[in-house]
Amino acid sequence: MELRCGGVGGQAVGRRMDGDSRDGGGGGCKDAGSEDYENLPTSASLSTHMTAGAMAGILEHSVMYPVDSVKTRMQSLNPDPKAQYTSVYGALKKIIRTEGFWRPLRGLNVMMMGAGPAHAMYFACYENMKRTLNAVLHHQGNSHLANGIAGSMATLLHDAVMNPAEVVKQRMQMYDSPHRSALSCIWTVWRTEGLGAFYRSYTTQLTMNIPFQSIHFITYEFLQEQVNPHRSYNPQSHIISGGLAGALAAAATTPLDVCKTLLNTQENMALNLANISGRLSGMANAFRMVYQLNGLSGYFKGIQARVIYQMPSTAISWSVYEFFKYFLTKHQLENRTPY
């Protein structure tokens, strides 16, 4: 496709895939990449959002999975003496040295199987809800309220798919986990705890992820307005905005993440220490148990690992998503445009 000032296939300059239609602000030629991005249709197709979202989710979770494994262990309320860590880097070194090179990657396969479809629905729902709500609110551009609501709605779909995968991968990440494979973990949980075990932490997950994603999307869109006002395809701006949005949202919701991890792992030593028999359920009970065992500081266990994990994760997710959205939409337009 030839890159030039003006329109492509009759599209006006300044039209963007997210539905906003701002003038580039000067009437002159911008760089070719920016111009080409702005000349794409005002909204990408559903299949484009889903494909780009799936790629973003798989790459995000794959690249950052070792750090996620460390985060899970650092959030343990009563860790084994052999699994006590003071830093993410130190934890990774110790795990590899004592448990093997591949140990930080245990459970990655089940996470990838969940991340693809979960993020496909997540981004597709977010984009469509954002566009619809902006139209309903008659907002010219980005409404922070619309972004927050759209992010919350997208989270409902995302977590419905991801919660079972989270349960399995976190049990496999724990120190001295009895599960040798994802299939054996799924079978054992199903047989001993029932199907409900895969969704025991779902309400807690939503309680954590709805505020997380609201903060995340509102912050990302706000930062994009500041560093990339023309909304051109600008990888640096997507990385910076995504990383900062993820770090802020992660720090703010760490207490909820600690409770979610406890409900997912059903940490035996912690339950015994608190004189709890059977299974722990419910966010309120998890909050009480965390405070009972570790006080206020317990709510921020693993905050360093969580921020270190989420900051690059969201940077990767947004940069990969925006790239594939740009690439796929451009490719579809080229196939429709006569030469």
pLDDT in tens, 29-80: 444 444 444 444 456 788 999 999 999 999 999 999 999 999 889 888 777 8
- What one-character-per-residue DSSP string does 275-310 give? T--S---SHHHHHHHHHHHH-GGGGGTTHHHHHHHH
Per residue in 155-171, pLDDT (tens digit) is 999 999 999 999 999 99
Which tens digit of pLDDT belongs to each residue from 262-291?
Answer: 887 776 666 666 666 667 778 888 888 888
Say which range, 98-112, 136-150, 218-232, 270-284, has the weakest mean pLDDT.
Answer: 270-284
pLDDT tier for residue 136 given thresholds of 50, 70 and 90? confident
Give me the domains of the chain, ranges plus CATH numbers.
32-336 (1.50.40.10)
- Cα gap 333→204, rounded to integer Å: 42
pLDDT band at 332 (very low <50, low <70, confident <90, very high): confident
| C-alpha distances in Å from residue 243, one per residue of 22, 206, 317 | 25, 22, 9
Name residue 18's beta-bridge partners: 43
Percent of the chain, pLDDT > 70?
81
Q: Region 17-37: what's the mean pLDDT?
A: 43
Q: Residue 106, Cα to own-chain centre: how many angstroms?
A: 19
